[in-house]
Amino acid sequence: MNKLLVALCVISALSIAAHAGEKGKEKNKGEGKRPEMTAGQKAFQKELTEKYDANKDGKLDKEERAKISEEDKAKMKSLRPKKAE
């Protein structure tokens, strides 16, 4: 009888913990995801890749991103959507 009672307590505790974990996932759904890029942002990203991609792999690595001019950084920043408060 004691073994049965202990087993039921363990199962109950595990189900409560699993339910709490799922509830936390639902709460954070959508957080951390980037909004979809606009056509202007996509075009500018393609332009930057063509301009600064030294090894022509289609991506900007850390060293290539470091070489982006201040002018291009300012333009990139201006294309970001404004955060709603």
- The pLDDT assigned to 35 comes to 81
Has residue 18 been placed in a domain?
Answer: no
Has residue 46 been placed in a domain?
Answer: yes
Say what the pTM is: 0.54
- The pLDDT assigned to 62 comes to 93
Has residue 11 been placed in a domain?
Answer: no
Has residue 20 been placed in a domain?
Answer: no
Tens-digit pLDDT profile for residues 26-83: 555 556 777 888 899 999 999 999 999 999 999 999 999 999 999 999 998 898 877 6
Can you say whether the dihedral through the CA atoms of 31, 33, 37, 41 is positive or negative?
Answer: positive
Has residue 29 been placed in a domain?
Answer: no
- The pLDDT assigned to 49 comes to 93
Dihedral (Cα; 64, 65, 67, 70), 10-degree rounding: 160
The residue ranking higher by pLDDT, 68 or 22, is: 68
Domain that holds residue 71: 39-79
- The pLDDT assigned to 83 comes to 66
The dihedrals phi and psi of 46, each to the nearest 5 degrees, come to: -65, -40
The dihedrals phi and psi of 27, each to the nearest 5 degrees, come to: -60, -40
Q: Which residues contact 64 (CB under 8 A, 6 or more apart)?
A: 52, 53, 54, 55
Q: How many domains does the chain have?
A: 1
Task: Name the residue with tokens 């991103």.
Answer: 65
Has residue 25 been placed in a domain?
Answer: no
